[in-house]
A and B are shown apart, each in its own frame.
Chain A
Amino acid sequence: MLRYIGRRLLYMLLSLFLIITATFFLMRAAPGGPFSGEKKLPPEIEKNLNEFYGLDRPWYEQYFDYLTSIAQWDFGPSFKYKGQTVNDLINSGFPVSFFLGMEALLIAVGMGVLLGIIAALNHNKWQDYAAMIFAVLGISVPSFIMASLLQYVLAIKLGVFPVARWESFMHTILPAIALATGPTAFIARLTRSSMLEVLSNDYIRTAKAKGLSRMQITVRHAIRNALLPVVSYLGPLSAGVITGSFVIEKIFGIPGLGSHFVLSISNRDYTVIMGVTVFYSIILLAAILLVDIAYGLIDPRIKLAGGKKGE
């Protein structure tokens, strides 16, 4: 297992390197630059700025500079936010996004799995249909519509929650729900469908024949095997969710990391683009590795490290 993880870490570094490289070239190929605006700068000033930030040097020099500074975990200064470094932006934005993301993840996994199990155990009964209708709504109403609806109904009309901003625990509830709706619905559907599959397996029948209670069968035998698709989905989901969502942060005025993903690209704020991409990729790759390790824990029959052995 340790050898497997070690090898995976090496692959992770390689993937990270490729992501950085691809992002670097895509970024530089995109039209515009950090200093292009509605009012065009006098050419001399633009030239001076490009020299200062080293944007006039050959691409390979810039590229290796980026690589070395990323290796030192120093993403450099933001081009737009004068006086703030990319590390500052990440350090101040990530805790907020992480907190919100974890809250949403807890809701999504807890509610989603519960709903899915209830629906599967009551296949084609009203509970199943109710869960299905909820899931359909959750899947087809994207988070930006959900956020506006929640804000309108619960904050503006009923006044139960604050409209926006990030000041107390109450402020976190609406954005967390909005963020969690889609994943909750999807997890519920996934759980239900794989639960149904698992429940028709022979070993469940055996367990029933042995006289185990429904509860015991569900908890001991079914859930464990049914969760695998959920776990596959959970890796990228959690990476995406804890690094923040642009629309949710925009609608609720939350100072998270998500807005930097989008704004840095539309601002062509090169250093921020690289910084947040690297940061996000590390979280993503780590989450995917965890998922693969989790596979083995959930189902001992899965052997990832085995190479050819599986065939």
Chain B
Amino acid sequence: MQQIPKEMFQPASVDLSEAEKISKPSLSFWKDVSIRFRKNKLAMFGLVLLFILVFMAIFGPMMTPHDYRTNDLMNTNKPPSAEHWFGTDDLGRDIFARTWYGARISLFIGVAAALIDLFIGVLWGGIAAFRGGRTDEVMMRIADILWGVPYLLLVILLMVVLEQGLGTMILAMTITGWINMARIVRGQVLQLKNQEYVLAAQTLGASTSRIMFRHLIPNTMGPILVTMTLTIPSAIFTEAFLSYLGLGVPQPLASWGTMASDGVSALQYYPWRLFFPATMICLTIFAFNVVGDGLRDALDPRLRK
């Protein structure tokens, strides 16, 4: 071993104030999330897209002199032109105006249904799985029964009993909509609840709700977000199905779902009638998906660098 001369050593000047400094600025959880989210370009793009869609839903109908309901039977099924940017439908109505008018209804329904499904589904599935045993059994069997009864029959009855309107429609949509979410959350929680950190939390005396919301739910965020992004398009098209039965938005109001369902039969002849509403649905779902992914990544503490 080589000899180290004394000169090579220097006294370390211990500055106590320096020691107290933190190299990385202190961040609250949400601030951190927002920083990491903003670094995700794709997610930011999705967010901007969503803003544009919402903006157009609010102001789009005002950008054209045509309104969503006035017929022009002399100009039916016209392809996109300078006069009608998205063309006209089979009653000669302006598809541009209808698309953005429909955006209001479809976006609202999609988000509302997704949030309600999320709320009920997470609670139901989470409680069932966490409590386990008989509670799980009973809660999940209730879900099975709701799923087993013919949905069409349920909807017909709802239509007879309740007034046509937004509330009825959302009820019809969420009455069975949450079940998928509940099943997936239950499966995840079953897997997680016996893991060491949950046991640790339990040993430390954490309450059930704390374990649920601080430990279990955040760790099932991935599947939850994916299921939510499925709920939105399915709500948009369920609305079309309900309109078909007389429970959706009354004609001549437009929604993406009804416009697309109408447009399918014209696919071979007037493709723009399907193209515009369907594209808007795709864009919306895309935006929600990338935002959802970005959010998931940002929320996951393990991906923190």
Interface, chain A (partner B; CB < 8 A): 11, 14-16, 18-19, 22-23, 26-27, 29-31, 129, 132-133, 135-137, 139-142, 144-145, 148-149, 152, 156, 186, 189-190, 193-194, 196-197, 200, 225, 228-229, 231-233, 235-236, 261-262, 265-266, 273, 277, 280-281, 284-285, 288, 291, 295, 299, 301-304, 306-308, 310-311
Contacts and interface: CB of A to CB of B under 8 A. Distances in A.
B194 A301 contact: yes
B145 A22 contact: yes
A26 B156 CA distance: 9
Contacts of A235: 183
11 contacts: A15-B148, A22-B149, A23-B150, A132-B289, A135-B289, A144-B264, A190-B227, A200-B303, A228-B191, A277-B149, A284-B144
Interface string B262-305: 00100110000010001001101110011001001000101100
Contacts of B186: 232
Contacts of B183: 232-233, 235-236
A288 B148 CA distance: 12
B219 interface: yes
A58 B241 CA distance: 34
Interface string B195-210: 1000000000000000
Contacts, number: 172
A228 B189 CA distance: 10
- Where chain B touches its partner, the secondary structure class is helix
Contact of A194 (B160, B223, B234, B268): B223
A271 B144 CA distance: 22
B233 interface: yes
Interface residues of B, number: 64
A273 B153 CA distance: 10
A233 B184 contact: yes
A281 B148 contact: yes
Given A295-B187, A306-B133, A307-B132, A285 B260 contact: no
Given A29-B157, A30-B157, A229-B184, A139 B147 contact: no
Given A145-B264, A193-B222, A284-B148, A229 B134 contact: no
